[in-house]
Chains A and B, each alone.
Chain A
């Protein structure tokens, strides 16, 4: 996946990719851990971003080319040949080059670049004054002679690693003896896989081999590079001693310098590598969705359908919503009985049942129920935990490693707030006070009248018996003493009793119906509220994490996007 980026016009494409990479890093940095984004990758990406940002700010008219290689591969000889002067020391004992040397063709503006590369001032050489006719073309070249990467001096290896990271174009100088060394392939060439465009390999010291041997050697080297993902790398054969192949190398450098694309191509290749490493974190299992990285964008990731409804039902069960409804109904009925009940029945019941537990007055119950249920302990933590576990296990679609964990964590992110919130919502749903309906009072008055009627009847009956039947006193009005009125008095009393009993029956039935309706309405209200709680405290955080995954994948697409110039 190489990218053709032109210097001026397509830096925007590159900067969009870099911005997307920065987003990937930002999203990844919040999700590290044992199964999360690898710290190494994030560090590498941060470094690459820093490097790219710095490089793009520095001179775009210069191209940094590094000559890298092992001890004795003849880097310095090549460097001197190219520079046309003995700048870098050449020797027989190893290692010779311990510091990076730089030679600049066309000095203006290269200073900050060299500072950035960290080449000491005493190792900088300028070719500005000595630009010959052929060298005019090399204007803008910053050629670095790197120290030996494989010598016993470890710090030199680190310096090479650092400068190889900063260079726009890397020329690996190999020699017939060491071209297959693990030291160069493992440490340097394998990580540069995909950088074919900005890597060239030079087989130096060709003068030591016969033509056939060179052929053989090149063939073997090509095979090695192919196996390392560097199949398109250009291989040159040179000899610093005889000067063979130097012109081809110079031509390669001139091409790179005049095109001015190496810097951007290098960054693009770095981004490609990093994006490939990020891809694993955005890979969703094929069964779930196949169009993982297609442009156009798939639908947003969602929790499985029914998850929210199931969770709300679990919450309802945890809070005992139906039990609350039942309790409300009971309480309403009991409360109504105080008004619409037939007092005569109470007395009868009280007299027949000497229960000590009766002192728990049921009327108080409602207030207590309300206080208890609406508190911060509206639901059982354990039941809520289990409900969340179910969401995490069944509601989340299959996700790649860091995300499956982070979405689970998001599901539980506000678990501690849930019982209180449920309690609050239930409290808000419950009627503020024990309401007494007006018709209860009317019935109560009626019941009172009927009771009065019964009492009057009884009194009347008594007086009729006393005065009318027993003829105890005299001068009593006829109304209280006429025995013939006895039936009327009895009828009055019985009518009162029957009326009261009947009214209680009828009203109780009405009260039951009303209480059932009320309880149902309450239950529905609470269920609605609980669904809202579930949505706000569980589903929303989980979905926002899923959206983050979507953003990650979008950024991944942007960062991986191949920008082709028109």
Chain B
């Protein structure tokens, strides 16, 4: 390590989101395209490069290693002057060197600020330890912050279906895998070899390139697409220890390669040690990103998250594929260190192709990325000719050897990943907030449905519409046939009254039964409608649909007992006996849109309770008119019956229609009631009776609604502070950088 190299590193870092290595900016390609703006690159080098863009000779590989000493165009040049400066307060204690400069390009602005946060001077770094140049004094702090973030991410409540939840779940997995597979291992073992992932289209020749780099066949090549089914990791035997099971991608099963080109089984990571690999760098051949095998894509993503440097390989035939650019854009957005190899270039068209490719890279904001061109050539032993692969090999070895390059790579990728956390963690927190809102919305649906149900019940008991059909006919029969009078009037005198204490006549019993039945029917219909409204309302919300589907899937498994228990306890609260077995059918999802099977019994019990209550009221209070009470005393049961009729039938006639013969439900009761009780008293006691009825119905409906709340809770009860915890942990991470 010389002072000169440090200086070169400090000076030549472009600071943008692209390739940061001092030798990385390939001006020969840049120069091939006119570069507008930027104040223009210094003509000396760029011009020279422009004149001979791609050597078409047998080596055919256009590299610009020599550019390392060259000056940077535009903003990157300015970066040299501002090297070492960074915003005060950011990343105090960080030791990684990263000369930072304000970046004019907006895409780069975030990246540079971040880089500044993590930056330190190379000198400090080297002062720490020569063989562990990446030890960071704040590594422990950062690690603690990451672990602090890991927990809230892992426990983030994503319980309900919503348009964003699938993405959020995937994002959670990805965040965790980035923390577990890359950030934590990298922090804990900063001396581990740089992991270079070979990424690219199917058939691009990744495996061939890999074999050429290792100078030995370690990865299978072939005509069939996709060829590589399991990833192969090649490194120097001395570096093998870094990739042991418990350190690198702990979740992935792996196998040591025995013999040449052993095809690994799908899903296994093949470890190949080769003397041909330079020390301090490991190459990973990943499955393709665009073949028909979807699993490869997920697999590749996992490796990309765990890698320090991506070497993206595409071909002359493919470079305009949409899939390629999606991948490159995601690499750019991630801020990962990236290099691109364009392979299988037919030598005659090399110049035209590379120019076009450059233009496309530039248009996509990747003009700073290091490029290699591999010509279409004869493959022997699944390897490229040595001279074709040499520049890439050299470059890899150089990256491993030179601390400044190494630091730059590691810094860029790690800060790139951490940068993305800055937006992704709050996004996840937003999703959590959205989840809480969803839960609230689900509960609201239930509440409003049952509140509306209670209102309907009140309306029906208040407007006389309950006194219709059977109940009305029974009342007319009872009252009209004179039984009413016979039943009501008890002769004066206690003794006589006791003697006459007898069963109600058949018509009165029928009337009482009809009243009870109609009120039970009303409760049932109200509960049915409310449940149906809840289910319909939930069907309209993705979260509700998810819950209902889940319930359908769960069937009568463990969900059942809870449900019955709950209903049983609800009924017990009401002082009712319940048969838990009757609620077994309750687990059927279609039954959710109906009242619970136990409700009919509960409602019947509640109604007769209420009838008792009315009777007690009649008995306790001297309700009859004094003038009448002087003459007759009344049987309180019959009186209670009459009062009930009076209360539920006293409202306005439904629709106010005066049908031939009189207003519905009014004439007879009103006339009689007022003659018995008097209007004022009737109003007063009627209100009390109605209030009592409402309370009972309210309790029944609340018990019905509880079933839905229990279903919401069965998805899990989220912690209200989950979002803020996540945000705090995210901020703590920022602080630790």
Contact = CB atoms under 8 A, between A and B. Distances in A.
Contact of A375 (B471, B517, B529, B664): B664
Interface stretch (A340-348, A360-368, A558-566): A360-368
Interface stretch (A23-31, A179-187, A286-294, A439-447): A179-187
Given A368-B662, A375-B664, A380 B522 contact: yes
Interface string B304-320: 00000000000111111
A255 interface: no
A330 B480 contact: yes
Nearest to A319: B469
Nearest to B320: A94
B292 A368 contact: no
A224 B292 CA distance: 9
Nearest to B315: A177
Interface in A190-225: 209, 213, 216-217, 220, 224
A186 B468 contact: no
A267 interface: no
A216 B671 CA distance: 100
Contacts of B521: 318, 380, 382-383, 386
B322 interface: yes
A425 to B, nearest CB: 13
Nearest to B473: A323
A432 to B, nearest CB: 11
A126 B224 CA distance: 39
A150 B525 contact: no
Interface in A121-176: 148, 150-152, 154, 157, 175-176
A57 interface: no
A380 B471 contact: yes
A357 B291 contact: no
A459 interface: no
B224 A93 contact: no
- Dominant secondary structure of chain A at its interface with chain B: helix
A326 B320 contact: no
B317 A177 contact: yes
Interface string B520-546: 011011101100000000011000010
B321 A357 contact: no
Interface centre among A327, A373, A386 (most CB of B within 10 A): A327
B349 interface: yes
Interface string B491-525: 00000000000000001001000100110011011
Contacts of A71: 317-318, 320-321
A183 B488 CA distance: 88
Nearest to A176: B223
B349 A372 contact: no
A65 B292 CA distance: 26
A563 B319 CA distance: 47
A359 B632 CA distance: 15
A360 B628 contact: no
A72 B318 contact: yes
Contact of B518 (A374, A382, A419): A382
Nearest to B345: A92
Nearest to B227: A180
B290 interface: yes
Interface residues of A, number: 77
A94 B317 contact: yes
B352 A369 contact: no
Contacts of A369: 473, 476, 480
A323 B510 contact: yes
A95 interface: yes
A527 interface: no
A178 B316 CA distance: 12
B472 interface: yes
A179 B226 CA distance: 9
A393 B594 contact: yes
Contact of B470 (A323, A389, A393): A323
Interface in A377-413: 377-383, 385-386, 389, 393
Contact of A373 (B460, B472, B631): B472
Contacts, number: 259
Interface stretch (B141-149, B175-183, B610-618, B651-659): B651-659
A177 B540 CA distance: 47
A157 B322 contact: yes
Given A331-B480, A368-B662, A377 B594 contact: no
B514 A323 contact: yes
A327 B473 contact: yes
A229 interface: no
Given A179-B225, A209-B223, A371-B659, A326 B473 contact: yes
B318 A216 contact: no
Given A179-B225, A182-B292, A372-B476, A360 B671 contact: yes
A93 B356 contact: yes
B668 A368 contact: yes
A34 B540 contact: yes
A320 B514 CA distance: 9
B667 A368 contact: yes
Given A377-B468, A386-B525, A357 B320 contact: no
A419 B466 CA distance: 13
Contacts of B39: none
B661 A371 contact: yes
A417 interface: no
A358 B469 contact: no
B352 A93 contact: yes
Contact of B664 (A180, A319, A366, A372): A372
Contact of A371 (B291, B323, B485, B660): B660
B291 A326 contact: no
A356 B678 CA distance: 13
B526 A382 contact: yes
Nearest to A369: B476
Contacts of A35: 539
A70 B201 CA distance: 13
Nearest to A184: B292
B479 interface: yes
Contacts of A365: 476, 479-480, 668
Given A330-B480, A360-B668, A180 B291 contact: yes
Contacts of A151: 320-322
Given A92-B349, A357-B675, A320 B474 contact: yes
B319 A94 contact: yes
B482 interface: yes
B202 interface: yes
A93 B510 CA distance: 93
Contacts of B294: 182
Contacts of B480: 327, 330-331, 334, 362, 365-366, 369
Given A217-B223, A372-B659, A373-B476, 19 more contacts: A71-B318, A71-B320, A152-B321, A177-B202, A178-B202, A180-B292, A181-B292, A182-B297, A318-B469, A323-B470, A356-B632, A369-B473, A372-B472, A376-B654, A379-B468, A380-B465, A380-B470, A382-B521, A393-B590
29 contacts: A72-B317, A148-B320, A150-B321, A150-B322, A151-B320, A157-B322, A177-B202, A178-B318, A182-B294, A183-B322, A319-B469, A323-B473, A357-B485, A357-B675, A362-B481, A365-B668, A368-B476, A368-B662, A372-B472, A372-B662, A373-B473, A373-B476, A374-B660, A376-B657, A380-B522, A381-B465, A383-B517, A386-B521, A389-B594
Closest 6 CB pairs of A and B: A371-B661, A320-B470, A94-B320, A323-B473, A72-B317, A180-B225
Interface of B: 201-204, 222-226, 290-292, 294, 297, 315-325, 344, 346, 349, 352-353, 356, 360, 460, 465-466, 468-474, 476-477, 479-482, 484-485, 488-489, 507, 510, 514, 517-518, 521-522, 524-526, 528-529, 539-540, 545, 590, 594, 628, 631-632, 653-655, 657, 659-662, 664-665, 667-668, 671-672, 675-676
